[in-house]
């Protein structure tokens, strides 16, 4: 099939990729959604984000990484908006008794894990190398944190341009 | 051992029931063309609307400034300041729109993504200052027009007294800014604080690990 073939403006290649990857999307939803409504909402948003990432991708970026970044970024936004919402008692609410049981057991197993731990766990459980987390989050891998940090600090000392911090903040948007 | 158990549980996780499952096949096209960012984070439309409005105002102002310049009119200083402000506002908003780069925003690594969201929100909050400044000029023009229709004498006095005009302009701008500070801005400030807290939390956890 031609990769660039389109059906009503929708790339067939993206459709097949998303269909292959949708189980990973379900998997991250398990870690971040408490009710089936949240699950559906997060799922559709991740799918939309993934397709947007692939459509706007640059030559050198890998589609798999873009889908995973969509998963992690949308899960993070979901957490931020959930935290900002008025406090209500959060409980697992799924219609299927089997799924409800499995979700309750999963929540008991992971306890009050932070989102960073959930991301690590997601990669671990989906049998992906934990080093992948560096590409997905932009955080240095824990083993190299101290070494890299020292290198970065030394580099900064060498190349620091004596900018006035206020002006730098105003002129250079990071 | 615990992880092994969890892995087993994870691998045997049941499928989401048909009733609760988001529709995958027929609605997939609709899903993927939908904008994934919520209104609070997606400022593209608002920025575009402002750019269009500022562009129209800039053109009108340029024409007025030209005619005043040729006829050596009394409002040149006011129009020059307004022209400068409108030009900078346009530059600021276009720059912000290009910086945000919404189509590729979600493909960034998490920390860069959150950092960019923070910067966009921070600059958007700052942009209300410019809107307050501009509204000062246009509300002053409205006051002058109302005075001209109701009381020509008062209008004449105000038109020929630059000191009063600038004082009223500053008063209106500050009032509008205070209005924004208590109406629209708190929502964005709360959002910005939420994103920042989340990013710092993730970074702290990663360092701790």
- Which 3-state string (H, E, C) describes chain A? CCCCCEECCEEHHHHHHHHHHHHHHHHHHHHHCCEHHHHHHHHHHHHHHHHHHHHCCCCCCCHHHHHHHHHHHHHHHHHHHHHHCCCCCCCCECCCHHHHHHHHHHHHHHCCCCHHHHHHHHHHHCCCCCCHHHHHHCCCCHHHHHHHHHHHHHHHHHHCCCCCHHHHHHHCCC
- Which B-chain residues 107-166 have CB contacts (< 8 A) with chain A? 107-115, 119, 123
Mutate to test the interface with B, among A84, A92, A111, A147 (most CBs of B within 10 A): A84
| CA distance linking residue A153 with residue A151, whole number of Å | 5
Residue B184 is predicted with a pLDDT of 94
Task: Quick: pLDDT tens for A65-80.
Answer: 899 999 999 999 999 9
Of B20, B28, B109, the CB nearest to A135: B109
A83·B5 Cβ contact <8 A: no
Residue B129 is predicted with a pLDDT of 96
Task: Quick: pLDDT tens for A92-141.
Answer: 788 888 888 888 888 888 888 889 999 998 988 888 887 888 888 888 76
B202·A115 Cβ contact <8 A: yes
Task: Quick: pLDDT tens for A141-167.
Answer: 665 555 555 555 555 555 555 666 666
Of A22, A114, A125, the CB nearest to B24: A22
Burial class (CB in 10 A: 0-12, 13-18, 19+), A139: buried
Q: Among A29-33, B3-7, B182-186, name the most confident range.
A: B182-186
ipTM above threshold 0.95: no
CB-CB neighbors (< 8 A) of A140 in chain B? 206
Is residue A35 pLDDT above 80, yes or no?
yes
- Looking at CA atoms only, how far is residue A152 from chain B in angstroms? 15
At residue A7 the predicted structure's pLDDT band, cuts being 50, 70 and 90, is very low
Instruction: Tell whether B16 is within 8 A of chain A (Cβ).
Output: yes
Here the tokens at position B186 are 């708190």
């Amino acid at each position: 099939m031609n990769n660039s073939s389109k059906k009503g403006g929708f790339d067939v290649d993206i459709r097949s990729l998303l269909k292959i990857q949708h189980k990973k999307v379900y998997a991250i939803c398990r870690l971040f959604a408490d009710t089936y409504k949240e699950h559906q909402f997060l799922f559709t948003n991740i799918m939309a984000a993934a397709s947007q990432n692939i459509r706007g991708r640059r030559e050198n970026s890998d589609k798999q990484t873009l889908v995973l970044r969509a998963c992690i970024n949308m899960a993070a936004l979901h957490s931020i908006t959930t935290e900002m919402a008025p406090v209500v008692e959060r409980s697992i609410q799924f219609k299927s008794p089997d799924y409800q049981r499995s979700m309750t057991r999963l929540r008991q197993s992971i306890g009050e894990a932070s989102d960073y731990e959930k991301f690590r766990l997601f990669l671990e459980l989906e049998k992906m190398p934990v080093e992948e987390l560096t590409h997905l989050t932009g955080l240095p891998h824990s083993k190299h944190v101290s070494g890299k940090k020292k290198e970065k600090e030394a580099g900064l000392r060498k190349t620091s341009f004596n900018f006035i911090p206020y002006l730098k903040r105003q002129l250079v948007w990071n | 051992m615990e992880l092994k158990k969890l892995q087993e549980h994870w691998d045997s996780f049941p499928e989401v029931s048909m009733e609760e499952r988001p529709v995958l096949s027929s609605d997939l096209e609709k899903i993927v063309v939908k904008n994934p960012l919520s209104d609070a984070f997606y400022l593209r439309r608002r920025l575009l609307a402002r750019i269009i409005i500022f562009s129209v105002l800039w053109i009108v102002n340029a024409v007025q400034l030209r005619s005043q310049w040729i006829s050596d009119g009394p409002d040149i200083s006011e129009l020059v300041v307004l022209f400068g402000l409108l030009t900078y506002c346009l530059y600021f908003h276009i720059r912000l729109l290009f910086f945000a780069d919404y189509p590729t925003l979600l493909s960034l690594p998490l920390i860069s993504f959150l950092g960019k969201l923070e910067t966009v929100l921070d600059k958007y909050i700052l942009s209300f200052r410019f809107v307050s400044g501009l509204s000062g000029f246009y509300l002053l023009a409205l006051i002058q027009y109302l005075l001209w229709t109701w009381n020509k004498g008062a209008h004449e006095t105000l038109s020929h007294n630059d000191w009063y005009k600038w004082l009223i302009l500053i008063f209106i701008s500050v009032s509008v800014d205070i209005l924004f500070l208590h109406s629209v801005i708190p929502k964005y400030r709360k959002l910005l604080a939420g994103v920042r807290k989340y990013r710092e939390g993730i970074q702290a956890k990663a360092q701790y690990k």
